[in-house]
Structures are given as C-alpha cells and as structure tokens.
Structure 1
Amino acid sequence: MVFYKNTSSIRSSLGPRSNPREERSVTFFNSLMAMLPSLPSSLLPRKAQEEEEEEEEEEEEDQTPRPPQDCSDFISTLPKGGWGPIRTRKYQGFWVPEIFLPSVMAIQKNFKARPDDLFVVSYPKSGTTWLKALTFATMTRTQYPLAHHPLLSFNPHDCVLYVEQYFHEGLISKMEALPSPRILAIHMPYSLLPDSMTSSSCRFVYICRDPKDTLVSMWHFREKSRPKTVEPTPFAEAFEAFCEGTSPVGPMWDHALEYWRASLRSPERVLFLKYEEMMDEPVGNARRLAEFLSCPFTEEEEKGGVVEDIVELCSFEKLKSLEANKMGTQGGPGFVVTNDSFFRKGGGGDWKNHMSPEMARRLDAITQHKLFESGLTLESVGVEAASGDDASAHGQ
C-alpha cells in the first residue's frame, strides 16, 4: 500500500509527466479514507508533523536517495544475458535486469529495514501475486470486512509494492512513510540483500515453484507484456537462457537455495513455501502462513469459516473475475505491464504443452544437480493447470 499526505508535492517532485503508480496509490488512499472510521490508525500514514516540519520535508524530498546516476559505466562492464528485450547483467553472482540494477545497488546502500517489516519474496513467476494477496488479506483481516476488501477493487500489486519499484520510481520517501508493520515485496536474491534486512528481526515469506512451470509462466508474461515494436522471443531461446541461469535474477535454483538455507538457519524469520503444496492444501497453508505472521486464526474465526473465506477471496476464480485485474497497469519508467498480464493459467503441468521430452529431462537434470543434498525438492505434485485462456494469479 502507498499513501500520500500531499499529492501536489509528489507531482512536483516527479516532474510534469503523470505517474501511473502515483495515480493508483492516490485512488487507493482515497478509497481507504472512505472506509473511516472503521479503518485503524495502524494502516494510516504516520501522523503528520507540525506544518513547518512538513513543509521542510517537502523541500528536502528531492534529496531522498535515488538509484545512483554514475553507475552506468560500471554496469556496462558486466556480462550480458537474458532473452528478448529483457537484458540482464551478472552482478554479485546473479543476473539482474539491467533496468533495475541501479535500484538494486541503491537498495544495498540505502535501504533501512525495520525490525517488524515483512517481505513477500519470490523468483519471478513463481506465485508472487497469489502470495501477495494471501499475505495482505491475512494480515489485514481484522481491519477490512471481506465483503468490502481492497483486493476486490485493487490489484494485489497495488496493495503490496516491490522495494525495487519504490527505488526505481523515486518513491522512497513514500515507502518510509508507511506505518509499521510494513508489508513489502522483493525479488532480490538473499545474498544481495542489505545487512539491514539480513541482520535484523524482519521476516520473509518465500514461495518457489517447479522450474519448468516457472519458465513457461515467465515466457508467457514477457510475451504478453512485450511492446508491439519488439520481435517475439522463441520459447527455445527463453529455455536456453533459463537453463544457463541468465533469466531475470537467475539462476532460479540459486535464488531458491539461498532462501531455503536461510529458512533452515532461521525458521522463525524465513517461511519457505512451495506453490504446488499450497495449491494442494490452500486452507492448511493459509493457517501456516497466519501462524508465521503472528496472527493465527482464532477458534471463533475457524468456526466462522474465515480461513476458507480468505482462501476464496484470493482464489483463481475470484481474482480473475475482478475488474481491477482486467484493466490498469503496473510498473514505472521503462517497464510497464498491464494487470491482465499477471493472469494466465493456474495449477501446474502447462510445461507439457511447451517442452519436448528432451527439454524437460534437461531441465530436470539441472534441478537435480543444483539441489543435490540440499534437502530441497522442486517438482510438480499432480496439480493440473486450470482451463481457460485468462487464468490464475496463482502462477504469477
């Protein structure tokens, strides 16, 4: 969630061009204001300072740390990878999208985590949208009646923004103004996170998925969000890049392993979830998530069917039917995608429609080699893809 105390100051700081993220956030804020007085102070912006301090803050807003402008020469020296228009650079062992690399570097240098921050984490296209919705709905269930929940009117990515986006779009001061506990998202590998995150008591909820379905979902997402002026990317090209580990924030296996090992070291701080297991037992995993978030479902909530109601609110059928997920956009300068790009097929096994047996065996062999003796397994568990062309946020 992003809340603005003074939208005019934001517009002036961002320049004359309109900012879709700002406009959506202002709309979100105004809608939340309409829910008063039931809305608790914990979800409102931090109380405004004295008028003089607020004016001083506006004057200093341009001094908010931004992605470094002098790193282009350094970035140009890094190895290139990726596929199609999404170019990546190898940075500290991972292939980071070039467009976001300045923001990643700025996060490492400037981001200050709070002890009670919660981060929704994933390798892209592993179930991020679903996990954002479930986490947001679970943590805010006492504030919002499910019949009038923000998720009915706003895309999950409007409710939980990426730290990378805040930095990329120059909205860092807005992130810092969020009340605690903050719900944030991030795609960065664990080893790239700043010390303020890895050395504090903040928590992480990580979701992973069968690499074969992750690749297929990522390829479809990139193709659907591809500018018309850009040539399509053959699936075979995307497959090679994924196997080589040069796809965004890859290698995917290393990304998952870092959070898996962190969850073994600190299970009270890192919850590691598997997409396929969540699909098989959504209610049980919703309970597990709530326990980790320190807001377990009460006996009264259990009897009242609250767990099932939250699972239903965040389900494929519900989310895909909402107007908020059929229109609008996400992203910022240089990277904009439509909300419907996040909704394709739910479940698993769609890789069978895109990969030859040889391709599947090759990817499985890489997975087995990468995860050998780690205790982590990544494979489908009989969850079939949902039918229909417009599908589930679950895999997005």
Structure 2
Amino acid sequence: MTTSPPEYLEKNNLSEDGMKLLSILPKEKGWLGSYAYNYQGFWVPQKFLQAVIAFQQQFQAQDSDIILVTTPKSGTTWLKSLLFALVNRVKHPILEPNHPLLIENPHVLVPFLEHTLYFDGRTDDISTFTSPRLLATHVPFASLPKSVQVSKSKLVYLCRNPRDTFISMWHFTNSLLPDHKEADSIEEMFNLFCKGVSLYGPFWNHVLDYWKKSIEKPNKILFLMYEEIKKKPKIQLKRLADFLECPFSIEEENSGVVDDILNMCSFENLSNLEVNRNGKFSTGEAYKVFFRRGEIGDWKNYFTIEMCNKLNHIVEEKFQGSGLKFSYV
C-alpha cells in the first residue's frame, strides 16, 4: 500500500552533501510510505537525517545539561513534563496558576535537539538557554555528539515494553496521515518493526546500548522504564530527583510536592489542558496526537498469538543475558 507522508517528512531543503549521503545509505520502505535510511546503524527518515547530522556536528554539551533520551513512543511527553516540573519547582512552584506546563506543551518546554533545534536547517542558539538546559533526543548512545558522551551532562533514558511501543507508534504514525488516506496496515508495520526498521531502531539495539551504558556509568545515565513509573510513580520520581542531584526535602515530601507534581503531570490533566487539546507545532502537527491512552497492555487489543510469538522470540534472543526484563501488564 502506498501513502503520502506528511509534508514535514518530505525530502526538501537537503544540502548537496545530504543528497549524496542519501544516495549511498541502505534504505527500506519506512512508516507512512516514506523511506527510512540506515545511518550509523539506526533507521531515520530522510527528513530527519540532516538534522541528526547537524546535531552531531554542532551541539556542544555543557556539564549542567540534562538530556532526556527515549525510544520513540515510550512515554516521552509524560517524562518531559515530570522532568520540567521537578527541575524547575523552585522557579515555578507547582501550584502557581500560570505554571508553564499549564500553558505550553511539554515538547516546547523540553525541545528535541534533532527534531526541533536542528530541524530543517535551523541553527537555534541554545547557548542562551537557562542552566540547566533541559533537552531531548532519540539518537542512540554511540551516535551522540562526543561532547555529550564525555561531559558531566546527565542522561535520563526511558523505554517501554516493545509490544506497547509498537502499538503506540502505529497509532501515532497513522494519526499523522491526511484524513483521506488509508491507515498503514498493522501487519505491514509489525513486520518492519520486527526487522528493526522503526524510528531510530532497531528497538533492541537502542535499548540495550543505553542499558549497558547505564550499568557502566550509573552517575551519567539513569535508566527508567515506563511501566515502573506507572506502577510506582512516587518512588521513580524521587529516584529521578536523586539522580539529578535535586532531591526532595523532608519538608517538600510532607507538604505534598511529590504528589502535586505527579497530579499536574498526569495523563488526565495534561491531555485535557486547552493548549494540548487545540495547540499545534509550527509543522502543523496537533499537540493532541501525543496524548492517546497512556496505558500498559493496550497491545492486547491488537496482537494476535502469532505476533506475540514472533516478537517474543526476537526479544528473548536480543536481550538474552542482559538482565533486562519487560513488563507487559
């Protein structure tokens, strides 16, 4: 089935070097009918390739930087809001009526490096950002700029079980299609996912690399799992605060600050805010597409026994001996 990708994924404004690179990179049919290119071992749509390269070449990390890294569709929006509220809780008290999270989308407050700051030839001056700079990326660890890898900047990594990750990704990409276009079939997209052809995938390579690095460098990388945050949010939020060296005081805990952050950043609250119901990015994407269900186990509504068996086999093979286990319920 052929579909037309959204305009912002079309091949335009590429440099001459970018066009040459595209001509030699391995490519596969990607999601939304666009091609995906294998760059440094991961798959990226043609439109994002130049932005990734610009990020790699131009970004200079500061020791105070906090960079959220995620596999796409693993709870990025939620963790961005938690991160912003946590780090800025003195500057922006949680209960203030005009808190930034109540009037702006989390993706604006914690911008993506390759999807926003270096996207489409932009060279936003982020050296003027207030310290600590809160930034985000989907780029695998080995392809991060050297300055990120060697600096004292903190990386907060988030992943989600592969079944729910796939379903969320499938819904998200289909939500970007024009109304008159037929949705991509789940079978076709599932086969691509299992081949490793997904945004910044293969999924298992992305997760495993950060998992191993978090064990090697526990002060550099905090590895979080979406399901653990959902099940024990207070414990995981306090763990995040400790890692970022801004722990909650006894007074804050007693006065309910932890609960206030979790309530403000809850799916129910964020998804019902006016800005997230009706706001849009400059590319035309509606903010609301980042709020679908936010649940664990939605895969049960879509997966066949055959799909479960196929993905289970891949996951068992790829993660064998790593010590990393996923929760599906």
Alpha-carbon distance in structure 2 between the residues aligned to 1:183 and 1:233: 34
Residue range with higher mean Cα deviation, 221-230 or 90-99: 221-230
- Alpha-carbon shift at residue 84 of structure 1 (Å): 2.5
Mapping of residues 116-265 of structure 1, within 5 Å: 116-147=64-95, 148=97, 149-164=99-114, 165-228=116-179, 230-265=181-216
TM-score between both structures, scaled by the size of structure 1? 0.76
Give the match for residue 220 of structure 2. Answer: 269
What runs of 5+ residues in structure 2 fail to find an aligned partner?
1-12
For the 8 Å contact 1:205–1:273, the answer to whether it is kept is yes
Instruction: Confirm or deny that 1:322 pairs with 2:270.
Output: no
For the 8 Å contact 1:207–1:275, the answer to whether it is kept is yes
- After superposition, what is the alpha-carbon deviation per residue over 1:303-340, rounded to whole angstroms, capped at 9, x for unaligned? 000001101111111111111110122364xxx42111
- Alpha-carbon shift at residue 68 of structure 1 (Å): 4.8
- After superposition, what is the alpha-carbon deviation per residue over 1:330-379, rounded to whole angstroms, capped at 9, x for unaligned? 364xxx42111001112211111111011011111111111010111123
Give the match for residue 311 of structure 2. Answer: 363
- After superposition, what is the alpha-carbon deviation per residue over 1:118-150, rounded to whole angstroms, capped at 9, x for unaligned? 101101000100110000000000111223211
For the 8 Å contact 2:118–2:124, the answer to whether it is kept is no
Give the match for residue 39 of structure 1. Answer: none
- In the alignment, residue 135 of structure 2 is paired with which amino acid? L
For the 8 Å contact 1:67–1:168, the answer to whether it is kept is no
For the 8 Å contact 2:252–2:258, the answer to whether it is kept is yes
Instruction: Confirm or deny that 1:306 pairs with 2:257.
Output: yes
Give the match for residue 54 of structure 1. Answer: none
- In the alignment, residue 46 of structure 2 is paired with which amino acid? E
TM-score between both structures, scaled by the size of structure 2? 0.91
> Cα 1:86–1:248, aligned 2, differ >3 Å: closer, same or farther?
farther
Alpha-carbon distance in structure 2 between the residues aligned to 1:233 and 1:222: 8
Instruction: Confirm or deny that 1:93 pairs with 2:41.
Output: yes
> Cα 1:67–1:173, aligned 2, differ >3 Å: closer, same or farther?
farther
> Cα 1:191–1:68, aligned 2, differ >3 Å: closer, same or farther?
farther
- In the alignment, residue 110 of structure 2 is paired with which amino acid? V
Of the three residues 15, 22, 25, the one matched with 1:75 is 22
Instruction: Confirm or deny that 1:111 pairs with 2:55.
Output: no
- In the alignment, residue 105 of structure 2 is paired with which amino acid? N
What runs of 5+ residues in structure 1 fail to find an aligned partner?
1-65, 383-396
Rg larger for: 1
For the 8 Å contact 1:155–1:325, the answer to whether it is kept is yes
- After superposition, what is the alpha-carbon deviation per residue over 1:29-82, rounded to whole angstroms, capped at 9, x for unaligned? xxxxxxxxxxxxxxxxxxxxxxxxxxxxxxxxxxxxx98542212212212222
Alpha-carbon distance in structure 1 between the residues aligned to 2:223 and 2:49: 26
- In the alignment, residue 41 of structure 2 is paired with which amino acid? G
Name the % identity: 43
For the 8 Å contact 1:68–1:106, the answer to whether it is kept is no
Alpha-carbon distance in structure 1 between the residues aligned to 2:292 and 2:182: 21
Give the match for residue 286 of structure 1. Answer: 237
Alpha-carbon distance in structure 2 between the residues aligned to 1:372 and 1:321: 41
